[in-house]
Amino acid sequence: MQQEATEGFQWGRNPTQWDLVGEFSLGFPGKACRVRGGESFWVRRGPPQAQSSWLGGQGGRAHCRVQKGHFLPLPRQLGRTAFHRAAEHGQLDALDFLVGSGCEHSVKDKEGNTALHLAASRGHLTVLQRLVDIRLDLEEQNVEGLTALHAAVEGSHPDCVQLLLEAGSSVNALTQKKQSCLHYAALGGSEDVARALIHAGGHTNIADHQGASPMHLAVRHNFPALVQLLIDAGSDLDATDNRQQTPLHLAAEHAWQDIAEMLLVTGVNLNLRDKQGKTALAVAARSNHISLVDMIIKADRLYKWEKDHVLCRDPRDPSGKNLTFKQDHRQEMQQFHSVLWRLASRHLRPQEWKKLAYCWEFTEAHVHAIEQQWTGIKSYQEHGHRMLLIWLHGVAIAGENPNKALFEGLVAIGRRDLAESIRKKANADPGTPRRCTAM
């Protein structure tokens, strides 16, 4: 007899003598085809013209010869129809056949997904375009509140994202967890997708159910390029989540140095405290992230120096691109670095590095953060060396003579003998820098 395949697939067992038409069209061997009339049949592969019709080659309806076979129904866990399956697996010809057969377009599976969700999540651009053309609801949400645009973003499919945006999808639609498409882009780390969303008007400062902005997520998952994109888009870098953590708190917690530097260069607020009452500096110190501690102290001292000198530097201005808070490895500074190491390890007494630090306007928080590092009974030597390198960064920013500044500092803490000794050696060495410049 002749039956017309129009509905969805059910799980079942396939007798060896039969082969489901869907095997070569939708990719589902071992499943039964529910035909019009409600009965389940196993469908043997028809003649070539029937297969061609199913695949759209003949342009007409496919009629396949079917025979009733042994069928053992099993649970349909996701509740997806043939229309869902065609969209999910990118089978445009099968989808067109089902559309022509008058099947229901907007039906949802048990997760609330329409065919639009499934095509978008898998990145099937041509199928997605067809579904947009037949006017499926772009704003339909699944059980979790995701639209098709959310699904395309979650799957990191820029072309599908662009198609849906151009079709009119809402770029700022929120899920049940109050997450926008930009949140999903931040979770996936796709710079191209995030850029398309921002260009379409995506809000960068929406907070989700945990108070996290897209910037929080990009920082937490260590996506530096995406962080820079969000900075350039004007994200609020001092926004706090439900733990009262800023993006810098997260960077400090995870020791993401590259991201921390991006945030520090912009001039973020270093005084904000999380629910435990800790600043980003304290978080870095508690976790023993030494390099990050030093970077934050350098930034804090720079901010104060700029304020005192009424220097209004635009962090997005190209002139600030060379600013760095990482350790200075330039060859021309290595000799002076050696001088500072000898000073800290051989000449400064245990508490004298602190006296120098306070003389140079380090705060108690700075000193305490440096002291969190423990390398043994002579930890003070490493503490002093780190403090001197941080101080040197500020001298370079100000364009001062490091020898003169060091001499004055040592004299101020009562070590003129040491100051004179260092100056004498510096004057005898023509390679000693007379002035520092920042990178």
pLDDT at 336: 84
pLDDT at 102: 85
- Residue 123, pLDDT > 80, answer yes
Q: Which fold has domain 331-428?
A: Death Domain, Fas (1.10.533)
Distance from the Cα of residue 438 to its chain's centroid:
30
pLDDT at 324: 92
- Residue 11, pLDDT > 50, answer no
pLDDT in tens, 381-406: 999 999 999 999 999 888 899 999 99
pLDDT at 247: 99
Q: What are phi and psi of 44, to 5 degrees?
A: -80, 150
What CATH class does 106-225 carry?
A: mainly alpha
- Residue 214, pLDDT > 80, answer yes
pLDDT at 311: 53
- Residue 89, pLDDT > 70, answer yes
Mean pLDDT of the chain: 82
Q: What are phi and psi of 171, to 5 degrees?
A: -75, -20
Q: Sorting pLDDT into bands at 50, 70 and 90, what band is 374?
A: confident
Looking at 235-249, 280-294, 396-410, which range is the least confident one?
396-410
Q: What are phi and psi of 8, to 5 degrees?
A: -90, -175
Distance from the Cα of residue 340 to its chain's centroid:
39
Q: Residue 90: left (phi > 0), alpha (psi -120 to 50), or beta?
A: left
pLDDT in tens, 135-193: 999 999 999 999 999 999 999 999 999 999 999 999 999 999 999 999 999 999 999 99
pLDDT in tens, 297-341: 999 999 999 988 865 555 544 445 578 998 877 776 778 888 999
pLDDT at 423: 86
Whether the Cβ atoms of residue 285 and residue 369 lie closer than 8 Å to each other? yes
Enumerate the domain spans of the chain.
1-104, 106-225, 331-428
